[in-house]
Amino acid sequence: MEAPDPIAARVLAALDAAGVVYEPLPCEPEFADTVPFCERYGVPLERSANTILVASRTEPKRYAACVVLANTRLDVNRTVRKRLGVRRCSFADAEETRALTGMEIGGVTVAGLPPEVPLWVDARVMGQPWVIVGGGSRSLKVKLAPAELRKLGAEVVEGLAMEPRADPGQ
């Protein structure tokens, strides 16, 4: 498959270099965000895995890429904060994410990350037969077996994600 842009091409090259078995899935950019993607392409939320870049709030900046199922939420204030070894952290904003990874929100993924950024995967992701992750751009997703994430140096973390709040509006 021809990658839709240089960032997606870099991601696919990183997957290939790591020996990851995957299926590229082109998608319309306006449907790249999780819920619209799942609705448009018939993917259950529990098979969509979001890669979220987290940043420390203070210098020197520390980052981690965290992979959680779309039907859960990342435990930023406890698990991620403690693993990063910082007092405060939060989701990296779109500008910071783009500057560090070259990727757009809605396309951030597990491959092609800077080598100093650890890749942490919630243990629930590993229980799925396959998941959809970003492809580096808003026009590409990647389908793979969660075990393939280990080829990218992923560390499986118990409790990285929590059950969603009862009120989805929060």
Render pLDDT for 96-152 as a digit per residue (tens, 0 to 9): 999 999 998 878 999 999 999 999 999 999 999 999 999 998 899 999 999 999 999
The confidence band for 164, taking pLDDT boundaries of 50, 70 and 90, is confident
Q: How many CA atoms lie within 13 A of 92 on its CB side?
A: 28
> Would you state the pLDDT for residue 4?
58
Instruction: Give me the long-range contacts of 82-87 (CB less than 8 A, separation at least 24).
Output: 83/120, 83/157, 84/54, 84/56, 86/56, 86/57, 86/58, 86/62, 87/57, 87/58
pTM to 2 decimal places: 0.91
